[in-house]
Structure 1
Amino acid sequence: MWDATENQDQLSVCQEEADRYRLMAEQSTDMISRHTATLDWTYIDVNPAVEKILGYHPEEIIGTRGYDLFHPDDADNLKKRADSVKYREGMYTNTYRYRHKEGHYIWLETTSRTIREEDGTPLEVICVSRDVTEREMAQQAIRRLARVVEASSDMIMFCNHNTMRLTYMNESAYHTLGTEKEKPIALYLPQIFSEDNFNTLVQDALSHAAAHGTWYGSIPVQVPENHERIAEIREVIAHRNRTENMQVEYYSIIGRDITLKRRAEEQAKRQQLEMAHMSRLLSVGEMATGLAHEINQPLGAILNYCRGTLRRLEEGHTQENFEQITHSMQLITRQAKRAAEIVKRMRSFVKRTEYQRIEFSVNESCTDIAGFLHQEAVDHDITFEFDLDPSDPKLLADKIQIEQVLLNLMRNAIEAYNESEHTERPVRICSKFKSGYIYITVSDEASGITVEELGTLFEPFTTSKSSGLGMGLAISQTIIETHGGQLWAESDGKTGTQFHFKVPVRAN
């Protein structure tokens, strides 16, 4: 009798525990299910959480082949031991896609254990599953973002705020800095900049990012000398610990390999220099007759003085002849210097040069170019009139190129009178310093330019001349814009034309 009572008590305790476990299972937000230990995974039992997770009532899904609801790509994860499957102490954890009652797939994470007989024969499989769709979508987004970051042509690096160690670099950063991803080395932020740049520009950028969230600018990166790359940092983003003290934890540093861009810029600059040089040669070619006449004048004078000197030498060595000979030699020297200056100016103008920034007087350049065009102006009855800024402003730029623009504009003004019957033919050159810019105006009083012509004036190969390539104004505009300025024209189409250009005093 005593044994029967004891057994009954034990059965009651077991029943109470079973009821508690069932209550727990029914109240759980995880889906707890039992399946046959067969390949079709038929549902034997399932808790009410199945309705929230899969949309089925328990009685709808019991007896259903669980295998049929797997996404085709995930159905054999366990059999294949896919990367999504983890095993530990007799339990498998699998992350996979599973079909909802409404037809779409959700992501489930299931931990399963097989219940076996004492001889090892499988009885059933018990599974605990939860909906991890949001987590998987977030992880997929992170993985996609990581692929984008890794494939980006920009250099992307993460830097620890305290240690300045680069904790991550994408493929582009490894390539630009001359290191290999397969053989990573510990790099610190100061190592990829010169000491001066790190102590000033980089520290300022980090401080600005820490205070405002981001920094934008341009800081040159120091790459290995034998790597032949050119790179710069463009952006710094500060990331804070939002769950604790809001202090900066790390920086995202975004840079760019600008080797190809710099090479293209250098190539464009070389081409521009060649075009400018060609334009100067063409201009001098068009001026050849006037230049020859201008050089012939001092040469003719030298020849006459030499003949006179020879005659006086033949007459004897009188004191009077000696004084006249001395005077003749002085005149010969003066004329020779004049001819030499003309040749020197012409050689300097047509010489192929690199871009050279020097400080020079714009007023002097205006008068020098007018002197260069003296004979051409005389041949066309042109008078130069000057209204130059009395402060004599200095310009830091390429002197040869600026003078090339002046020459083009002055020659255009001279040639504007070709079809004009005006007896007075002034070409006015004005200079003015204002608000950090030097303004130059070259104007004429010929027939002017129509509105239609103004619209195409600076296009290449546009010209009203019977000869010439029509490149002068296009090249002039490029030169001025390269110096950070502007070139434009104004005309009423009747009483003349004004060409204006402005350049900053310290041109780029």
Structure 2
Amino acid sequence: MAISYFERPTSQRLLEMLRHTLDSTGSFLTLVSLHEGTCEIVGRPDWLRPIVDHPAYRTSWRQLVHNDDAEKLYEAWSSLLAGNSENYSVDYRFCDRWGEYRWLREQVAVVSTDQHGRPVEMVVLHREFTPTVQRDKMLDAHDEIVTKMTEGMPLMAMLSKLAETIEAHFPGSRVSVMMLDAQREHLGIVAAPSMPPELVTTFSNIPVGPEFGACGAAAYLKQRVIVHDVREDSRTIPYLPILEPYDLRAIWSHPILDGSQEVIGTFALYRSRPFTPDAEEIRLTEMAARLAGLAIERHSQAELLVRREDRFRRLAESSRIVPWEADGVSDVYLYVGPQAEKIWGYPQADFLKPRFWIDHLVHPDDREMCEELCSKIIAPQELYEWDYRTVGADGRTIWVHDVVNVNWRGSRLAQMFGYLIDITDRKQAEEQLRESEERYRLLAEQSADMISRVDPSGIWRYVSCACTSVLGYDPSELVGTYTMDVVHVDDRREAAELLMAIDRWPDVPNFTCRARHKHGHYVLLETMGKPIYDAHTGRLAEIIFFSRDITSREEQSLRVRAREAELAHAERLSTMGQLAAELAHELNQPLYALANYAQAAQGLVAGWEVPNKQMLLDWTAQMMQQARRASEVVRRITSFVRQGELDRQPVNLNECVEEIGMLMEISARQRGIDLVYELGESLPLVKVDRLLIEQVILNLVRNGLEATEPSEGGAAKLTVETSTTAQAVRLRVIDQGRGIPNDKLSCLFEPYFTTKPDGTGIGLAICRRAIESHGGVIWGENNPGGGATFAFELPHASPAAGESA
């Protein structure tokens, strides 16, 4: 039996010698025996693992060959198997487990054949040379981009081309090129050919800092930043909601530097799996970052050159611009453009005379300023510029803008050159604008309405002098302050919301608010606003407000409404008077009959001899007295509500309380309530209709008793209290009831208003009328601990009245 070529001792020794070489070169051998259907791999370089780990490698590995390379590989293999060749060498791309293609060089040599010349055993050498291909392509791209730079290719197109080249070298990767903004605080994407638009938008304002992702950190640290897995790096964890939907798992970012080694952007490569780049991959991306920096810097220099050339062209093409050149020592003009004669009327030769500029051309009032400015040109800088007046040959004043550039020879000023620009028209326009503003100011100052200009943030920029009469402030006290500071706190929110939304209104509505006067009181302003927009940007520039003091008008309106309320009140009182008259008519007959029956009963009892005769006589006498008193009360109330005369006499309010005390105590005992008196001593007299005031007290006490319920722990308490103030005597009835709803307090004394289910709403209205007819006041309020207090005050009687009593 023939010995296999691979089993021969010499072959084994040779393979053993090759094994070390294969490992050091990143290659491996496959010993194939077609007869036995076996293969043996010699060497296991690192790059082989991602290939053999591919699920399709052992079953359909041909599907992993790149479509563009499959045909040539198949032809070479078929030719070898047919015995038409003894070896071949083919370069092709092979897909690894991550979907990335690697360049392989496959070299096959036949070592034994059968009798028909077809291969039986062969040796296959595989070597990966992806880095070499990438390096070669990168060098080609470098040359191409440099060529494009010299041809004037647009910057964004160059950066996109560079990004596409790197993405082609690293299949499955994505590249972004970012540039710093003018403030050098944020990065924005300028090229990202394979990134979705929404991701580009999200990454258009990345802050520069050590914790703001790989790119923000690279720009901040000025060094390469590698994030092997975005899920495990603190700099990228905050961005996971953005990165993961697009399958971005690894990032390495290089700072882009200009010629001064200052950061101007970043060049970043993103992978779809956790990844650590090798030295060759880092070198290629660093080369790309340098190319990007070169392109950006060249573009910036080209833009600067274009701007300077454009400035020169515009100056040269303008007939009102005069180029000049002067000696740096003597200040004498060496050259003045021909436009000078047209503008000033002097012969061109006159401008070259010594001191002509300062002695003849510059206006006498501006010579000192110009000489002082010229003396300050002691340090080189790009430009010196200032405005001054000159005088033409015909005496006209001509305004010029002088642009001065300087050349230094060592430490000595050797040459000055620049342009004189005729700006007379602009100055005249500015003067006209000042005159227009002055006319506007005069109109604003003569207006009785307060006119103001407010910036979008609500700061006053101008206030007319009418603010002194409207708000009491000098305009200088308001300019620079926040408008809402003078608005009443209850109106401030609505006014601020209107101010913030004023540029969204097609027609700004008038609005009213209360504004604080300098003296502390509030005035009511009716205000109309007019938004003013910037002509260039279209944004809100300021708002002009016209504010009118309508306090007097509103007060007049309130007086009219109060008068209408009084008339309505009078109408209700008239109705109440009619009702009182009807009640009096209905009550007088029963009261008269009650008094007669009591008198008749007293006569009968007087003729009887019965036990407790005297007590019965006293009770019948009391019945007659109270019936007559009730009749008199009805008469007085009827007379009162009909505007009748009052029977005013000096009275001590404590005596009124004592007079009706028995009636009040009977009602209190029936309800199980303690009636407590806290009567002040030495009360001043009050001049009142006694019966009417006693009826008011009785009505207040009765209401208090009805509102108070006995407590489970003992009897409830109702307090009647009298006291004196500097001008009046006060009586208070304090109950322990449920109190009065706050929204009902203001209506308590209105006719026909009641909180009782069976109330008429007449009692408290009559009480109010009675107290006010005596010059007093009456009110109701809730107690802090529960219950309510009803009180009234009556003015002290005059000393003469007291003495006459």
| TM-score bin, normalised by smaller chain | 0.3 to 0.5
Which one has a bigger Cα radius of gyration?
Answer: 2
* TM-score with structure 1 setting the length: 0.37
| Greater relative CO (CA pairs within 8 A, separation 6+) | 1
